[in-house]
Structure 1
């Protein structure tokens, strides 16, 4: 027993000094708690996903995974914190589209690069947005809505949860994809006031996250015209996609993914990916996600990186055409 303890201590010392191979160090991973940083406060959608990941990943790995909420600046504060941590697998990020795709495009002076400074592990899920309008509006379809927008002399207003927010970017992409050129942006400081003003008729439309708007859609306070994902949502299968509604190629979601600092060893990447794939892929875990309007994904690290690259390119082009910047 004494020899075993001595050997483990020597192995740990070698790992800390960087003198052991990555494979040997990874063989003992993990042997202490893991910190999962999320850039939003407790109680919201990102926090919910983070806690699902922490629970199931911790059970699979046999260690505690502790959620660390670092809210602010649409998740970019948390991303910057993780980017400068050691690449040892003990600090992870619950990344979102705002911090990894949109923020870096809108704020080129951020202290991290979303591709250079992170190792993608897996995208765990995404939430579609939904184009909602006040039921008093005569438009019943997306085509009706576009025609109504372009027919009037005065601009038709839409609300967003803030300039550069996914609710703003999804609308800008819609303008560019559908030709609804007379839509006028009204930025708010958060989603709840947009919903209040939309129900009250003070703005005409809103691209809200599906979980946020679904209760208002179900009680007929809002009318849903289309969702923004490439396929219909399991939580609202009666709502057509934008592509089905006549806007080809349109896709805008807010996604959640696990990332680590750059240069994480392939062995640890694979260990984390396999643990997430097996634990988050159970029927119970998937049901917990879909019940909150989050569609599970669990793609490979390579696929996640490719999706991230495509997402960054999409929003860079949207912001270029719309001339949006936060710097």
Structure 2
């Protein structure tokens, strides 16, 4: 038995089979390249499902993490810490927004966006209690929590996990007529991926996102852009929405925000929207921890230069 076969057999014997990985066991990685336990090199076109937008072992990000690990890694939100304010301020500025609610994983950020939209709908828009609706697109992928799979159309992630969370309406992706028909006085948000990732990297028809933006503005509905996979330089822009000149009411961010080092996610919006929360209504032990903020601050600084977005666009053309 080879080293690869032995390691795979051990993993298969002792881990839940929620993934079916390729028969490759990675030992080291640098930049866009990975090396397995047999010494073979691979060009990593997956990039950690977009968590590694800056490559494996990026020196700037590793240095930022090491420096913070020597100081303090976790305080919980019971205390202030000296990296939190700067992280929130600079991420908000990068997004052209005002307020940040930090979490850990992308799915947590989507759950947070759902809670935010519902709370805003009840307390600001005046939707009757328990009547809030969120419109989503078919073939979406926003995560695998119980609430999120409730509005999935993928039987692999949904089957045998009910009962499901109500309050969602699914329309075909890219179909503006269906979107317009779905919006009612009880609709609090439209939640979309600007580019659908797990569905097959599907780009919506030209003009669709701007039309949705205008429609949601007319109907007093929040436009929530899930940029967990498509954002932070992945498509050659800081956000995929930028390709069509769209600014949503709320960004959902994750993956690359942690630089491929640790999970960092966030919901970013206006003071009016995120201001609906009061202490105790939502939170996370690790959300916005000092180590996460230190790494994310370096990610933000790197994105401000524009060089990584330009490189992604250039290499994208080359690969095409």
Query: TM over 0.5, yes or no?
Result: no
Structure richer in helix, relative to its length: 1
